[in-house]
Structure 1
C-alpha cells in the first residue's frame, strides 16, 4: 500500500471520528443509556488504537485490556481520540516503505503473542475502527437518528471537491 493511501485513510479516520463525535454531542438526557453504549464502543476503539500505537513505538499504553472499567465523558474521549488520530497521521508521515514492511512482535491483552508488519497493524487500526463506528451508527439508527455517512468516498469527494469534476 502506498504512503498516499495510508495518509488518506488516516485522514478519513480522523474526519469520520470528528463527524461522529459531533453528532453524539447533540444527544440529550433522554438518550443517556444509548450515549453510554456509544461511548463504551468508541472507548474500545480508542483503547485498541492506543495498544497498537504502543506496539508501533508510540507512547507506552496504560491499558491491559481492550476497554476500561470506567467510561470517559464524551468531551474527554473526543479529545483523546483526536490526539491519537493526530499521532497516527504524524507517524505515517515518518515511515519509509522499509518501515512499513517491518515485522513487529507483540503480545495481545489476552497474553497471546502476535506478529504483524507495521502496514498490517495500520490497516487493522483502520478496519477495526470502521467496524465499530458502524456499531455506533446502528445505535443511532435505533434512536431514529441518521448516523454520519462514514464513507471513504464521501470523505474523498468532500476533502477534494475537484474529484467531482468530469
Structure 2
C-alpha cells in the first residue's frame, strides 16, 4: 500500500506540473490538451468504477479547455486522496466488476486498477512531453526520482 500511495502522490504532482505548464503556453496546442484531458478523464472513469458506480456515460476522450482540465485535476486529486485513505483498511485484491467503453464486462483487482491508472497517466504524460519538444517547448520534468528528491 505504501508503494501505491507514493505512486499517487507522484501522479498528483505530475498532473499539477503538466497543468501549470499548459496554462502558461496558451491553447493553440490542442493535441497536447486533448492528451492531458484524456489522462484526467480516464482517471475519473477508473475512480468511478472503483467506487462501484456506472462509468458507461463518462467520456475518456473529449476536446476540453484548460479550465476544465484544471477542474478535473482538482476533483481527481480530492477523490483519489480520500479513496486511498479509506483504502488503507480494505483488501487490495478485491475484484471490481465494470464494463469498458465498448460494454464488455471485466473484473480486476483494486491493486491492478490503481497500478494501471498510475502507469497510464505516466505513459501519456510522456507523449505530452514529446509533443511539447516537437513544438520547441521545454519538456516538463515529471520523473519519479525528481518528485522524491
Please, which of 73, 82, 85 is the counterpart of residue 90 of structure 1? 82
- 1:28-47 to structure 2, matched below 5 A, reads 28=26, 32=28, 35-47=29-41
1:51 aligns with 2:45: yes
1:36, CA displacement in angstroms? 0.8
Q: Conserved in 1, the CA contact under 8 Å of 2:46 and 2:113?
A: yes
Report the Cα distance in structure 2 between the residues aligned to 1:39 and 1:62, rounded to whole angstroms. 23
Question: Partner residue of 2:134?
Answer: 142
Q: Secondary structure of the residue that 2:92 maps to in structure 1?
A: helix
The unaligned stretches of length 5 or more in structure 2 are: none
Report the Cα distance in structure 1 between the residues aligned to 2:145 and 2:53, rounded to whole angstroms. 32
RMSD of aligned alpha carbons:
1.9
Please, which of 6, 15, 19 is the counterpart of residue 21 of structure 1? 19
1:121, CA displacement in angstroms? 0.5
Q: Conserved in 1, the CA contact under 8 Å of 2:41 and 2:72?
A: no
How many corresponding residue pairs? Answer: 149
Normalised to the residue count of structure 1, the TM-score between the two structures is: 0.81
1:116 aligns with 2:108: yes
1:86, CA displacement in angstroms? 2.3
